[in-house]
């Protein structure tokens, strides 16, 4: 990280960034160019390990790429305010972000998928009371990303 003065190392603050972000951009290898897609996510922290969850269709470009290479990059970001100025190079933003690498695994057991989907729903509505339809969950691809590395950054 170039701007060490913006690095966040406090674990409580890092977890708060995970809590406040409302989407992630997942990047995958796609030949000469990366492929990036915004996704809803949920997460679980076990000890010092973050595991992020997302769901998707069981087919399509994202699935094709992840079957070839389970290693991914991702970004979570949240802008709180744009800071204007009289000159272009003085513009800035109050923001928080997490840049990470990880490895994707697909969950196959019904109860694992339901638990992961619960984390995803709680990211957006922590008080939600959810009922799952087993047939729908069975047809849904649910992935876990075990983070291998991450850096958090903020400007405010």
Place of tokens 């984390």: 119
Query: How many Å apart are CA 126 and CA 140, to the nearest integer?
Result: 22
pLDDT averaged over the chain? 93
Section 77-97 average pLDDT: 85
Tens digits of residue pLDDT in 115-126: 999 999 999 998
Q: Which stretch of DSSP H or E encloses residue 151?
A: strand 141-154
Boundaries of every domain in the chain: 4-154
Q: What is the pLDDT of residues 8-64, one digit of tens each?
A: 999 999 999 999 999 999 999 999 999 999 999 999 999 999 999 999 999 999 999
Whether 147 has a pLDDT exceeding 90, the answer reads yes
CB proximity list for 94: less than 8 A, separation 6 or greater = 79, 80, 81, 83, 155, 156
Q: How confident is the model at residue 127 (pLDDT cuts 50, 70, 90)?
A: confident
> Which among 141, 95, 104, 121 is positioned nearest to 26, based on CA atoms?
104
- pLDDT score recorded for residue 94: 81
Whose CA is closest to 30, among 75, 1, 64? 64
What is the pLDDT at residue 102?
Answer: 98
pTM above 0.85, yes or no: yes
* Superfamily of 4-154 according to CATH: Electron Transport, Fmn-binding Protein; Chain A (2.30.110.10)
Query: DSSP secondary structure string, 126-149?
Result: TT------HHHHHHSEEEEEEEEE
């Amino acid at each position: 990280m170039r701007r060490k003065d913006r690095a966040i190392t406090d674990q409580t603050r890092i977890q708060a960034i995970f809590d406040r972000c409302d989407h992630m951009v997942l990047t995958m290898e796609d030949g000469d160019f990366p492929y990036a897609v915004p996704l809803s996510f949920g997460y679980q922290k076990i000890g010092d390990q973050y595991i992020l969850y997302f769901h998707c269709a069981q087919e399509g470009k994202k699935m094709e790429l992840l079957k070839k290479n389970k290693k991914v990059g991702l970004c979570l970001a949240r802008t709180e305010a744009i800071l204007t100025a009289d000159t272009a190079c003085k513009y800035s933003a109050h923001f928080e972000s997490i840049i990470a690498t990880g490895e994707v695994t697909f969950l196959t057991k019904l109860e694992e998928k339901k638990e992961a989907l619960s984390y995803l729903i709680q990211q957006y509505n922590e008080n939600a009371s959810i009922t799952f339809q087993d047939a729908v969950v069975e047809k849904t691809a649910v992935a876990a990303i075990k983070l291998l590395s991450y850096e958090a950054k903020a400007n405010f």
